[in-house]
Amino acid sequence: MRPRDLLIALPALFLFLILPGAGCGGNRRPVTKKAVHTGPVHSDAYQPVDGDWLITTTGAVNTLNFLESYSTDQLDVVYLVADSLVTFDHNLNVVPRLAKSWEISRDHLKLTFHLHKGVRFHDGVPLTADDVIYTYKKSLDPSILWGSYRQMFQNIKSIRKLDDYTLVVTFKEPAANPLSSFEDFFILPKHLYDTKKYSFDNNPANFHPVGSGPYILEKWEKGVEIVLKANPDYFAGRPYLDKIVFKIIDRNAMTFDMLLKGELDLTPISTVEWQYRTQTPEFKRNFQKRKYYVLAFYLMSWNEKNRFFKLRKVRQAMAYLADRESFNKTNFFGLFKIAASPVHPQSPFFNPNIRPYPYTPQKAVQLLDEEGIVDRNGDGIREDSSGHPFRFTYLVSSDDKRGASWGEFYQSILAQNGIDMKIKVVDAGKFQELTNAGKFDACFRGWLTGADPDFMISIFRTRKDRNSFNDNGYSNPVLDKLLDETERELDPAKRKALFMKAQEIVHVDQPYLFLYYPAALVAINNRFRACQTSPSGMFRCYPGLLKTYVPKPLQKHRSGK
């Protein structure tokens, strides 16, 4: 689960942050001897075996410091080079990584981790509890540029070691989900960072990272490529693929053509490419395509300081006027999933009883009429009882093409129903400034979420401090009480029931117009087997690439080449 304070507003960089990578699989296999192909192809020749490379794309990467990596481009690499205590499998279940086991005290005030013994960093130095404690303490340093870990650890009172492989975490208050702070918290090598020789930001390890993960950095040529090689001494077993190569390619490059030419094995593809270019016999013979819904959703946010949007029936009417089905078909070939809740549909906390508001203009008109918002002077614009026209400004970032397209589409529907929506385009920096300050009527954005819905606390609970992501003024005391209870409820079943109810309240109140769960679309060469998708991203599920392999007869890259 991603902690609520790791929610990231994505008005401009959403595509950049959800760029997917390679496949995932089940549990790591026992050590397998390499198969030798000497005659006719038998089924045994297609069993898992070491060898071959996977060549994919990424964007610009400036640092691989584990604590300061936050974009997908950075994290895809870090996830393979470094290790965290716990992580997710492809079904969003929390699974062990460096921590082979753990215990949670009955009062949820203590969490004890038992680390795997024999784990070594890539330079051969053992990884111990000291490295975990160092990374934790360093994450609290206010000079760290990416401060999300400081927010994650606000409820931690202390972390101490009982021995080199046992850690006890003590919380200030009972933690309903104590593991959440440590999911994908990657451990730094203390022996390289705890030095006065280099500053933290200028440490050579930021550019030649030394982790304990399944892959080792072989080469990083800035602006060209990052090459990782298999770690033969990885504690969970050597990954099958010899190398993972990230080609640093401009987002507008013709990566689909590079895939067809054999220059790439895996690439994200556009909705147009998915719909048309993957239908050719050549593609179907050599490649496969995958779709999965990432842990994120698009939305329109209604600022309840606005005289119209403070009214629940108006917000509901706006949902009934949102023809999301048509927009999805027209712009995304129906590939996106219409959202009804902020919780991801694959999360065990998702409430399946909630359905998106259907496009029903007649219902919207009825609700607006009930609120006394009607066209009083015959000018085609509805007014409230005080004569104020239903006119508002829709804020969108200048580099958010999806937000702009939705705005133009929605604007036309609203105009037909007596609502005047003006579109205001501002640069990304100004957009962040205005939305963070709550200075907007309505805006388009995307949120990254998590498998656990505790992020709902920060975006829906009445704003109490500047750490809150509730910037549209929404407040419901009943929901506040429920969300408060989720932080104190230690029984998993009862906690789940609270979040189910919270989704129902949000669905009725409609503080956001939930639009879509975006689809990540990828194409991958058929050589690769045991590939699975994950809402976390295909690179960031575990054991992930440890399980992906290429059968010996199909291998393209030989060791040493």
- What's residue 21's pLDDT? 31
Question: What's the CA gap between 72 and 52, in Å, rounded?
Answer: 24
Binned at pLDDT 50, 70 and 90, residue 467 comes out as low
- What's residue 145's pLDDT? 61
How distant is the alpha carbon of residue 11 from its chain centre? 14
Q: Does residue 472 belong to any structural domain of this protein?
A: yes
Binned at pLDDT 50, 70 and 90, residue 261 comes out as very high
Q: Look up the pTM and report it.
A: 0.82
Binned at pLDDT 50, 70 and 90, residue 449 comes out as confident
pLDDT tens for each residue of 349-399: 999 999 999 999 999 999 999 999 999 999 999 999 999 999 999 999 998
**CB under 8 Å to 31, separation ≥6 — which residues?**
237, 238
pLDDT tens for each residue of 159-184: 999 999 999 999 999 998 899 889 88
Asked if residue 466 has pLDDT above 80, the reply is no
Q: How many domains does the chain have?
A: 2
Q: Does residue 425 belong to any structural domain of this protein?
A: yes
Binned at pLDDT 50, 70 and 90, residue 34 comes out as very low
159 and 247 together in one domain: yes
276 and 335 together in one domain: no
215 and 315 together in one domain: no
CATH number at residue 413: 3.10.105.10
Asked if residue 23 has pLDDT above 70, the reply is no
Q: Does residue 162 belong to any structural domain of this protein?
A: yes
315 and 174 together in one domain: no
pLDDT tens for each residue of 292-316: 998 889 999 999 999 999 999 999 9
CATH number at residue 275: 3.40.190.10
- For 250-286, b where at least 16 C-beta lie within 10 A, e where not — what string? eeeeebbebbbeeebbbbbbeeebbeebbeeeebeee
456 and 317 together in one domain: yes
Q: Does residue 24 belong to any structural domain of this protein?
A: no
546 and 506 together in one domain: no
Q: Quick check: helix, strand or coil at residue 301?
A: strand
Name beta bridge partners: 86: 96, 183
In terms of residue numbers, what domain contains 390?
296-517
User: Helices then strands (H, E): number in the chain?
Assistant: 16, 19
Asked if residue 418 has pLDDT above 90, the reply is yes
- What's residue 29's pLDDT? 37
368 and 474 together in one domain: yes
- Mean residue pLDDT of the chain comes to 88
390 and 305 together in one domain: yes
Q: Does residue 500 belong to any structural domain of this protein?
A: yes
Q: Does residue 314 belong to any structural domain of this protein?
A: yes
pLDDT tens for each residue of 318-334: 999 999 999 999 999 99
Asked if residue 18 has pLDDT above 60, the reply is no
Q: Does residue 25 belong to any structural domain of this protein?
A: no
322 and 440 together in one domain: yes
- What's residue 252's pLDDT? 67
- What's residue 81's pLDDT? 97
- What's residue 27's pLDDT? 36
- What's residue 203's pLDDT? 93
pLDDT tens for each residue of 107-120: 999 999 999 999 99
220 and 310 together in one domain: no
492 and 525 together in one domain: no
493 — phi, psi (to 5°)? -65, -40
Q: Does residue 23 belong to any structural domain of this protein?
A: no
92 and 207 together in one domain: yes
